[in-house]
Structure 1
Amino acid sequence: MIRFFKIYLSFSFLFCISALPLYAQTSLNIKAGEQWYGGAVNEAHLMPFKDGYSLNMYGDIRGNQAVPLLVSSKGRFIWSEEPFKFSFEKNKLVISAAKSVVTIDSAGKNLKEAFGNASKRFFPAKNKLPDTLLFSKPQYNTWIELVYNQNQQDILNYARAIIDNGFPAGVLMIDDNWADYYGRFDFRADRFTNAAAMVDSLHHLGFKVMLWVSPFVSPDTEVFRELLAKKLLLLDHGGDSGMSWEKAEKPAIIPWWNGYSSVMDFTNPEAKTWFLGRLEHMVKTYHLDGFKFDAGDAEFYPANGLAFKKVSPNEHSRLWGEIGLSYPLNEYRAMWKMGGEPLVQRLRDKKHNWEDLQKLIPHLTTAGLLGYQFTCPDMIGGGEYGSFIGKDKLDEQLVVRSAQCSALMPMMQFSAAPWRVLSKPNLAAVKKAVAIRAKYTPYLMEQVKKAAATGEPLVRSMEYEFPDQGFAEVNGQFMLGSKYLVAPMVWDGGTKTVYLPKGSWKDDQGKKIKGPVNITIEVALDRLPVFELLTPKN
């Protein structure tokens, strides 16, 4: 049977609904000079999209955040409540495989207006904030230092070293492998002799403490058998796509990066109640402050999965996101359609190389375009631990530049201990980046509150803030709010070309510059170039 959908069109003040249903494929002519962005955050380094690009978002969010939204530099946007496929073919944008009504809105004139119109209609800001400590101070994650050897003594040693080396206390995240198995919500006794006392000690040092959790449950365990008996897990239809949930008995076993597990079915309200109850147990028993919610990718909900309520794989991912709304101290790495909510997102794990460092700016600015304003770049120096294996010495310049790149983004998160991997001069450069963040924190916090109220991005692409000035493909610099242009070094070297738009600017060394102009500057290893917009020129 052919699936149909309607296309909603909006032109300036005219809003018209097509009188007849159209086929599930349609194409838009791309206007002269029109650039398109959106879909999946982890694809942002490929934006604006080029001829030949294609993505079907059904069950594929590219391991990070995604939204059924495309926005254009000419003010147009495309939205649907369900995933769809989009392709760029010569001078056309083709929309197909839509699972729901598709809205095409042409009321805006530029990228900022396209985003604003979409945000107000489909993912309005809730005027609620995550815990502001996530923004006001650096974050520290135990992953790269300990990987799967999370244990009480080394976590305390890491926290004390943060303070001893002159870094400010902030949020500390205890990462994976703190429990005996997935689904068991208690610290493993062989590595944590008194987890509550450990958390109390971390609080005394000035930290708030988050704990890594996932929706997975290790099979053939006591908790697994309990949840299966209550049918709170995703089930397997066993090859019979017509099987009802009531008759299903076997669990779906999901392959993921840590083996094979069952997964919670949050379409079942009882599963959500059980999971939230276990989180509250962890808070009360061990005095935790919040949680790092990992996994939950749409890719982990396979076609053979049978849920209490029939939904798309993407909706399973969104329901995982709803769990975090109970905790102001939260972080997600995978998300679907939760723009405007007080949820903290983190970019997908980046490797310890320059190529991945160069992805941070386009990925973060695109997250803002999709409504994820409270997004953290990945861990400084990289968070993809496989790229650290076998390395007895890191690229120190890369670590410094990574810290500078994060310094004026919404959040900055350390994992690899700078005092362990850097020489004294390079450690001093990283500490200077932290000090620069502290200098701009009052302005940053103003923007955080504004983003919660309006939904407008904290960190903005040049095209967003300065439309039609030729900045659509400038990915080496960004705007913090509307006042500061930040141009970190994301290439191996010491010189950088900065593109200044119209207006009067003052750089971080006090020099005044009149734009528009392109300037090539020397960037010492301890310098983060920042340009303040003094008087915009319209």
Structure 2
Amino acid sequence: MIIVLKKRFFLILACCLMATQLHAQTTITIKDGEKWFGGAVNDAHLMPFKDGYSLNMYGDTRGNQAAPLLVSTKGRFIWSEEPFKFAFAGGKLLISDAKAALIIDSAATNLRDAVASASKRFFPAKGKLPDTLLFIRPQYNTWIELTYNQNQADVLKYARAIIDNGFPPGVLMIDDNWADYYGRFDFRKDRFSNAAAMVDTLHSLGFRVMLWISPFVSPDTEVFRELLEKKLLLMSNGGNAAITRDKALNPAIIPWWNGYSTVLDFTNPDARKWFTGRLAYMQQTYHLDGFKLDAGDADFYPPDALSFAPATPNEQSRLWGEIGLSFPLNEYRAMWKMGGEPLVERLRDKQHTWTDLQKLIPHITTAGLLGYQFTCPDMIGGGEFGSFRDGGKLDEELIVRSAQCSALMPMMQFSVAPWRVLSKQNLAIVKQAVALRQKYVPYILQLAKQAAATGAPIVRSMEYAFPGQGFADEKGQFMLGNKYLVAPVLAKDGQKIIKLPKGLWKDDKGSIFRGPLTLTEHAGPERLPVYQFINKK
């Protein structure tokens, strides 16, 4: 079924001039100059989409945020309550394998209005914010420094070094491998002699503390046996379609980056109750403030697994997202159809390369188009630990530019310790980026409150902010609200091409420019180009 919406009239048609459905495929003719965005955030550097791109969102969210939404620069959007496959070929947008009705809306005339319309109807802002400390201060994650050797002594050492090196305390996240096994909700005694005292010390230093968790449960453990007996796990039919859940004896075994595990079935209210109860226990026992809720990717839920209630892999991922709504201090990396909610999303782990640094702007601005307004760029310098594992020489300039790129985004997160890997001069520049951010924090908080009320993005693509001025392909600069154009240096040569839209602009030196105008600036290591929009005249 296709639902075509235009000018407030609701028409249910089998075919129309806009779209035709043939053999369960919907074909949409792309208008002259029309460009499309949406689907999976982690593919945003490939947007606007070109011929040859395709994605089946069923069970595949590209390891990051995603939504069943496509939006165009001509004001059209496509939405479905379930995942679908789409492809671009020969000037056509081809949609197939839709699991629910497609809604095609052409009432708007530009990207911004199409996003606003889709947001209002399908993922409205809930009027709630995550904990504002996540915006006000930098975040710190122990992952790159400690990886799988999370331990009490080094966590405290990392926290004290943050302060000793002149960085402000904020939220500190203790990452993976703090427990004996997955599903065990107690700190391992061989590495954490007194975890509650550790958290109390972190609080006294000015930090609030989050802990890494996942929905996985290690097989052949005491907790696993308890959950299997109660059937709180996804079950398996072993390839025999005749076996239903009530007769299934074995759990689904899920391959993921840390091996093979079982996974909780959050379509089961008792599984949700058990899991949230364990989180409450962790907060009460260890004085924790919130949780980093990792994994939960749609990819980790086999489509043939047996669940308490029918659910697509994508819906299982969305249910994982609902867990975080109980905790103002939360962070997710993988998400499905939870735009408008007070959830913190982090971009997928980036490698320590200039190529991946250049993905931050298109990824985070596309997250905004899909309703994920409270998004954090990946860890400064990259969060993909393989880039740091072999002890190779790090690119100090890349870390500096990464910090500058994050500085005026909704949040900024450190993991690799700048004081350990940077020269004194480059460390000072990174601290300068943190100080610059503090000047903009009141405006960032204002935008966050507006996002919670209206759904408008905090950081905006140039096409969203200035529709119809030729910015659809611009990936090197963004708008912070409607006031500041931010153009971080994303290449090693220090050259920055800045494209000013129509109107008057003022740079941070007080010079006035009239757009449209293209500037080429050689930005020294300490410079983050920012231009203030004065007026449209």
Report the TM-score, using the length of structure 2 for normalisation.
0.98
Preserved CA contact (<8 Å) 2:291 2:331: yes
Structure 1 window deviating more from structure 2 (8-17 vs 214-223): it is 8-17
Whole-angstrom CA distance in 2 between matches of 1:257 and 1:359: 23
Structure 1 residues 123-166: Cα deviation after superposition (integer angstroms, max 9, x where no partner): 00000000000001100000000000000010000000000100
Q: Decide whether the 8 Å contact of 2:289 with 2:329 is kept in 1.
A: yes
- 1:296-315 aligned at under 5 Å gives the runs 296-315=296-315
Q: Secondary structure at the match of 2:125?
A: coil
Distance in 1 separating the partners of 2:428 and 2:486 = 20
Partner residue in 2 for 1:10: 5
Which residue is 2:336 aligned to? 336
For residues 180 and 28 of structure 2, the distance between their equivalents in structure 1, rounded to whole angstroms, comes to 53
* Corresponding residue of 2:86: 86
How far is 1:19 from its partner?
6.4
User: Is 2:321 aligned against 1:326?
Assistant: no
Instruction: Report the CA distance between 1:241 and its aligned residue.
Output: 2.1
CA contact (8 A) 1:318 1:337 kept: yes
Gap runs ≥5 in structure 1: 1-5
Give, as a single letter, the amino acid of the residue that structure 1 aligns with 2:121. Answer: R
Paired residues for 1:26-175 under 5 Å: 26-175=26-175
CA RMSD of aligned residues (A): 1.0
> Hey, which bits of structure 1, 4+ residues long, moved more than 4 A?
19-23
Deviation at 1:391, TM superposition (A): 3.0
Q: Name the counterpart of 1:266.
A: 266
Query: Which residue of the partner structure matches residue 385 of structure 1?
Result: 385
1:387 is displaced (CA, Å) by 1.3
1:510 and 1:315 mapped to 2: Cα distance?
51
| Counterpart Cα distance in 1 of 2:488 and 2:379 | 16
Specify every segment of 5 or more residues in structure 2 that has no aligned partner in the other structure, as ranges: none
SS at match of 2:397: helix
Contact (CA 8 Å) 2:2, 2:14: kept in 1 or not?
Answer: no
User: In the alignment, residue 33 of structure 2 is paired with which amino acid?
Assistant: G
Equivalent AA in structure 2 for residue 239 of structure 1: G
Cα offsets for 1:289-329 (capped at 9, x unmatched)? 00000000000011331111111000000000000001000
- Residues 127-526 of structure 1 correspond to what in structure 2 (within 5 A)? 127-526=127-526
1:510 aligned partner, one-letter code: G
- Cα deviation for residue 509 of structure 1 reads 1.8
The Cα of 1:24 is off from its aligned counterpart by 2.2
Report the Cα offset of residue 393 of structure 1: 2.4
Q: Distance in 1 between matches of 2:321 and 2:274?
A: 16
**Aligned-partner SS, 1:521:** strand
- Post-superposition Cα deviations, 1:347-402, rounded to whole Å, max 9, x if no partner, equal 00000000000000000000000000000000000000011122342100000000
2:47 alignment partner AA = M
- Kept in 1, the 8 Å contact 2:401–2:490? The answer is yes
- Offset at residue 243 of structure 1 (A): 2.1
One-letter code of the match for 2:529?
Answer: P
CA distance in 2, matches of 1:36, 1:241: 40
Give the residue type in structure 2 aligned to 1:130: P
Q: Greater CA deviation, 382-391 or 359-368?
A: 382-391
CA distance in 2, matches of 1:65, 1:76: 21
> What's 1:25 paired with?
25
Distance in 2 between residues matched to 1:13 and 1:339, nearest whole Å: 23
8 Å contact from structure 1 (residues 38, 366) kept in 2: yes
Alignment-mate amino acid for residue 160 of structure 2? R
Q: Is the 8 A contact 2:303 2:312 kept in 1?
A: no
Instruction: Give, as a single letter, the amino acid of the residue that structure 2 aligns with 1:341.
Output: E
Report the alpha carbon displacement of residue 25 of structure 1 after superposing the two structures with TM.
Answer: 1.0
Give the letter aligned to residue 481 of structure 1: G
CA distance in 2, matches of 1:222, 1:504: 66
1:51-99 CA-partner distances (Å, limit 9, x unpaired): 1111000000000111000000000000000000001011110110000
Note if contact 1:138-1:170 (Cα within 8 Å) is conserved in structure 2: yes
Percent identity of paired positions between Structure 1 and Structure 2: 71
Structure 1 Cα separation of the partners of residues 391 and 369 of structure 2: 36
Q: Are the aligned partners of 1:393 and 1:421 in contact in 2 as well (CA < 8 Å)? A: no
1:275 Cα deviation from its structure 2 partner: 0.1
Q: State the secondary structure of the residue aligned to 1:498.
A: strand
- TM-score w.r.t. structure 1 length? 0.98
2:242, 2:467 → 1: CA distance?
Answer: 51
Tell me the SS of whatever aligns to 2:247: coil
User: C-alpha distance in 1, partners of 2:392/2:7?
Assistant: 59
**Aligned 8 A contact 1:238 1:304 in 2:** no
- Cα-to-partner distance string for 1:234-261 (whole Å, 9 max, x where unaligned): 1111111232111111011101000000
Q: How far apart, CA to CA, are the structure 1 residues paired with 2:102 and 2:272?
A: 30
